């Protein structure tokens, strides 16, 4: 006879959890990429250049959120689980910043194809925009640090505990923490 308190969740629970995690990841990444796209748009508007690549921001968010989840399921940072959180956080930020470089290069190549450029011409676009690409990756790397810090912290102390800390009034937190300390 198995104890229901320690039974593994069913496939419906796992799918629901994975979908919720995926869309939370998409939301964070889309907000970030959307803000970065808005920044580019506003800077370029000063030079009368239009820039409306919000679709790319959403597509990047969709793809990178899935890659993050695949990386989690493959256990890419599993060998670092006993290290300090900063190590796994920076490792994941670097690893996925490299993925951003890869997808940004694909984006520039794909951007050249509708304009009659060959794949070679598309790769030339990557070289022409190398500084922009590197600047974007630098910003993305630093955006990934809090993203993966929260994921790692949630892994260690529990996602519900983090939500509990962030979404409770401070007076309620203080009284509940004092009760927990007394127990």
Q: Where are the domains of the chain?
A: 9-182
pTM above 0.75, yes or no: no
The yes-or-no verdict on residue 126 having pLDDT over 80 is no
Res 1: pLDDT: 46
Q: Which helix (H) or strand (E) holds 54?
A: helix 54-74
The yes-or-no verdict on residue 82 having pLDDT over 50 is yes
Sign of CA dihedral 29, 96, 13, 3: negative
Res 90: pLDDT: 94
User: Are 61 and 29 a contacting pair, CB within 8 Å?
Assistant: yes
Report the 10 Å Cβ neighbour count for 31. 13
Which carries the bigger pLDDT value, residue 115 or residue 50?
A: 50
The yes-or-no verdict on residue 172 having pLDDT over 60 is yes
Res 146: pLDDT: 93
């Amino acid at each position: 006879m198995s104890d229901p308190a320690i039974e593994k969740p069913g496939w419906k629970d796992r799918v629901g959890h994975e979908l919720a995690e995926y869309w939370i990841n998409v939301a964070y990444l889309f907000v970030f990429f959307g803000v970065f796209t808005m920044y580019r748009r506003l800077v370029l508007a000063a030079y009368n250049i239009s820039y409306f690549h919000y679709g790319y921001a959403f597509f990047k968010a969709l793809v990178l959120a899935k890659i993050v989840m695949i990386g989690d399921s493959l256990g890419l940072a599993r060998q670092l689980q006993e290290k300090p959180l900063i190590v796994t956080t920076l490792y994941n930020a670097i690893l996925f910043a490299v993925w951003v470089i890869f997808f940004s290069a694909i984006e520039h190549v794909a951007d050249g194809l509708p304009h009659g450029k060959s794949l070679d011409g598309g790769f030339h676009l990557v070289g022409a925009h190398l500084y922009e690409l590197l600047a974007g990756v630098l910003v993305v790397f630093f955006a990934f640090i809090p993203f993966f810090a929260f994921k790692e912290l949630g892994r260690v102390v529990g996602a519900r505990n983090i939500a509990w800390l962030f979404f409770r009034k401070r007076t309620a937190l203080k009284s509940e923490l004092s009760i927990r300390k007394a127990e």
